Structure 1
Amino acid sequence: MEASDDLPVVGTLADLTSLVERDRNLYVRWSRGPAADLRAVSSTDDLTGVAMPGLSANPLDVETWWRGRPVELWVARRLYDYGHLPREKGAGIRPWALKGREVARGPDNEPLVADVRPLCWIDDAVIAQARTEVARQASPWGPLRRTGR
């Protein structure tokens, strides 16, 4: 595992989509980066403080039920759904793509990934493009984030 944050930066939604179309077992992680994450090797459950057996991440691989819909829209959706994390988790949180192996599921049913290979940072412009793509849909999605009582 390389723990360097010296990664290439993907600057467009189209470029990230090309990566997803070429490879499998890809995930996006929102954090302070591989250097910090790969030292810890695992995520911690925010509610209980329990160490989990991998890094929590969100899959980028297209599911079969997507059935021929645009891959770019799939990737936009995966980014859009978690775009709130930089605001919620604070300064320095940004998305990066990785290749890994799912070893378990976290408390929100998110994949926990091991054997992580960092691929690239995802530029803020890509997140903006994802938001625009979602907004262009006939029935735009609401945010995934749900507030508690």
Structure 2
Amino acid sequence: MSSPENLPVVSTLTEVARLMGRHQGLYVRWSRGPATDLADVSSKDALTGVPLPGLSANPLDVEDWWEDRSVELWVARRLYDYAHLPHEKGPGVRPWVLRGREIGRGPDNEPLVTEVEPLCWIAHQAIDAAEAEVARQEQEWGTLRRGGR
């Protein structure tokens, strides 16, 4: 594993899918990075300010109900879900992959993770590819609206 300051970068959905093939229990976290997050392995509820007992993250493991669909398409769907966060949380927020132990659930039912091992950054090209892939599915899937009321 690399240090948090010089993590490798994955640039494609295929690279993320390959990483998932080598490791189980992976999560993606959108933040300013492990160097910041590992100083205090805790998130904060954005609405109430209550400290949470781990880092909020989103699981990457493929669910059984996905059946034989493409892992790359699963990755696209998972990354697409939170691609809006850099716009909401400000400069320097980007996705990175970690392995860790789930300790509980946050207010949005997201996993809270401790014993964090940073694995890699996810490049903006992969996020662009995820958004394009989900857009290609829109006729079959419908739309997923993000944002306030």
Q: Which structure has the highest helix share of the two?
A: 2
Task: Note closer, same or farther for the CA distance 1:28–1:7 as it changes in structure 2 (3 Å cut).
Answer: same
Match of 1:6 in 2: 6
Shift of residue 141 of structure 1?
Answer: 4.5
Give the TM-score taking structure 2 as reference length. 0.93
Residues in 2 aligned to 1:50 and 1:2: alpha-carbon distance in whole angstroms: 31
| Contact 1:3 1:34 survives alignment (8 Å) | no
Q: Secondary structure at the match of 2:6?
A: coil
- Kept in 2, the 8 Å contact 1:11–1:123? The answer is yes
Secondary structure in structure 1 of the residue aligned to 2:39: helix
Query: Quick check: 2:27–2:57 contact (8 Å CA) kept in 1?
Result: yes
TM-superposed CA distance for 1:21, in Å, is 2.0
Once the two structures are superposed, what CA deviation does each residue of 1:96-121 show, in whole Å capped at 9, x if it has no partner?
00011111000000000011000000
Please name the residue that 2:144 is paired with. 143
Q: Which amino acid aligns with 2:100?
A: G
| Alpha-carbon displacement from aligned partner over 1:72-111 (angstroms, at most 9, x marks no partner) | 1101000001000000000110000001111100000000
Q: TM-score, normalised by structure 1?
A: 0.93
Q: Indicate conservation of the 8 Å contact 1:81/1:144, yes or no.
A: no
Q: Which runs of 5+ in 1 are unaligned?
A: none
1:9-53: per-residue Cα shift (whole Å, max 9, x none)? 001111111111221100000000000001011101111111111
- 1:23 and 2:2 aligned: no
Secondary structure at the counterpart of residue 139 of structure 1: helix
Residue of structure 2 in register with 1:42 after alignment: 42
Checking the alignment, whether the CA contact within 8 Å between 1:14 and 1:72 is kept in structure 2 is: yes
Which ranges in structure 2 are unaligned for 5 or more consecutive residues? none
Report percent identity of matched pairs.
62
Name the structure 2 match of 1:90.
90
- The total of aligned residue pairs comes to 148
